Amino acid sequence: MSELSVDTRREQWNRIEEAVREDMGRAVGVLVDAYGTGNYLPAAFNRLGIDVVHVQSSPEPIARMQPWERSSYRDWLVHTPEGGTEHALKELDPQFVIPGQEPGVLLADQLSAGLGLRTNGTELSEARRNKYKMIDTVAAAGLRTAAQLITDDAEAAVAWAEDSGYWPCVAKPLSSASTDGVFICRDAATLRAAFPSILTSTTVFNGANTEVLVQSFLEGTEYIVDTVSVDGHAYVCGVWQYEKQLLANGKPIYNRDILVSPDDPVTAELIGFTRTMLDVLGIQNGPAHTELIMTQDGPALVEVGARVNGHLHPAFHNACLGTNSADLTALAYVRPEQFLAEYGDRVYRKRQPAVVYNTPTVLSGQVLSVNERLVEEIRNRPSVVDLVLKRKPGDVIVPTHDLLTSPVRVFLTAPDQSTVDADYRFIESVRESIYEVQPFHARMTCGVR
């Protein structure tokens, strides 16, 4: 779907108006770009009696993200910058407009403000999406961040790192996700090599990379702090410790996300920093997913997204935390007074140990089949809530170099840590047997005489 014609836009408006006439009994809300884990939001709102309409911010859907599910929505439309989207949505009289995932943040801010709804406003929208502006804004408020440079010139980046002693340093796109395009550079050669790799690629969100963000490396342990807010009163949904592995090419990949107890001494510092940072960036309403490094001097911001966590899984989070950010987000927008009374300014309770395991692989080729017997054996392990296969027969599989190229995600939780640990070790030992793969070189020579 390319540039939308006037007729196409009118067709969208007519369809929305007809949907309103057909069902006047249920209130309506709007989700923008509900890719990936944004797919859990429609059901959460429906449980509270709200129908949802989807707005796609770009003419074409974002192919590298899990698609939004059309059957979950009353209707949908594709955004047009000429103002047609806001006009169409006014006919719905929506209760809210919120982003379903990262690419929808800017448009959701614009539409929610334009329609006079609960909003984070537009003044700091760019700082909530552009990683350079984000760090610049947070640092200006006196919070700890990395030092940074934005440039399209590899030699300027090398000079900056050399002059300041910023080795190792991090090179990444201005807008990315899932460690997409992120390089840890320990010398001038690896930093120079990162530039063409980033500048000749596109982001997960279909955008062009025209500049590179270079930052000083923050030494320490990385954590997630997930929140949902109403009018600046944030509920901390969970704190997770990232366990990462560094590949030989300097790229970090996720291994496990490990649920941290709210009583852990590190948690209070992380939460205190996060609450202040949310205020600085104007994230007063809705979900946020914050990534922090606990350095020897205290927490430092890596980045924050004004959207739900990419590892959100309601049944899993309900088991280990008693609730989940999809249901909390729905409650925040549909029944804000109830949210404030039950959750405002509070902190989660860890009900039992939990881990999200993103399996790496060294396999390369085309997937021939899935070992269903092994998959079922993993699913039947006592702590496994769910297993998500990211590849199917016919798909290409490549050695893991970021979160998107991890081929399997497993959600594990149980009353005792030993059960979770045993199941993790078992899955780690058999992960490369889940897919049968035909190597690329075998395909090229197959049938040659």
**Which amino acid belongs to residue 285?**
N
Whether residue 114 sits in one domain with residue 189 = no
What would the pLDDT profile of 50-91 be if each residue is shown by its tens digit?
999 999 999 889 887 889 999 999 999 999 877 689 989 998
Q: Note whether residue 131 is domain-resident.
A: no
Q: Note whether residue 92 is domain-resident.
A: yes
CATH of the domain at 225: 3.30.470.20
Q: Note whether residue 399 is domain-resident.
A: yes
Which residues of the chain carry a pLDDT beneath 70?
1-25, 83, 176-180, 203-207, 247-252, 441-449
Number of domains into which the chain is organized: 4
pLDDT of residue 247: 66
pLDDT of residue 447: 42
Distance of CA 220 to the CA centre of its chain: 22
pLDDT of residue 41: 98
pLDDT of residue 11: 62
Which strands sit side by side in the sheet containing 183-185, from one edge to the other? Answer: 148-151, 212-216, 169-173, 183-185
Whether residue 159 sits in one domain with residue 84 = no
Q: Note whether residue 269 is domain-resident.
A: yes
Quickly list DSSP for 387-438. Answer: EEE---TT-EE----SGGG--EEEEEE-SSHHHHHHHHHHHHHHGGGSEEEE
Q: Note whether residue 124 is domain-resident.
A: no
Whether residue 419 sits in one domain with residue 390 = yes
Whether residue 384 sits in one domain with residue 324 = no
The count of residues in the chain is 449
Whether residue 196 sits in one domain with residue 110 = no
The angle at the Cα of 255, spanning 242 to 102, to the nearest 5 degrees, equals 65
pLDDT of residue 2: 40
Q: Domain boundary residue among 326, 351, 376?
A: 351
Q: Domain boundary residue among 351, 367, 394?
A: 351
Whether residue 340 sits in one domain with residue 228 = yes
Whether residue 104 sits in one domain with residue 166 = no
pLDDT of residue 7: 54
Q: In which domain, by residue range, is 201 found?
A: 147-216
Whether residue 295 sits in one domain with residue 340 = yes
CATH of the domain at 67: 3.40.50.720
Whether residue 75 sits in one domain with residue 169 = no
Q: Domain boundary residue among 351, 385, 406?
A: 351
Q: Note whether residue 397 is domain-resident.
A: yes
The angle at the Cα of 363, spanning 358 to 368, to the nearest 5 degrees, equals 105
Distance of CA 255 to the CA centre of its chain: 16
Q: Note whether residue 125 is domain-resident.
A: no
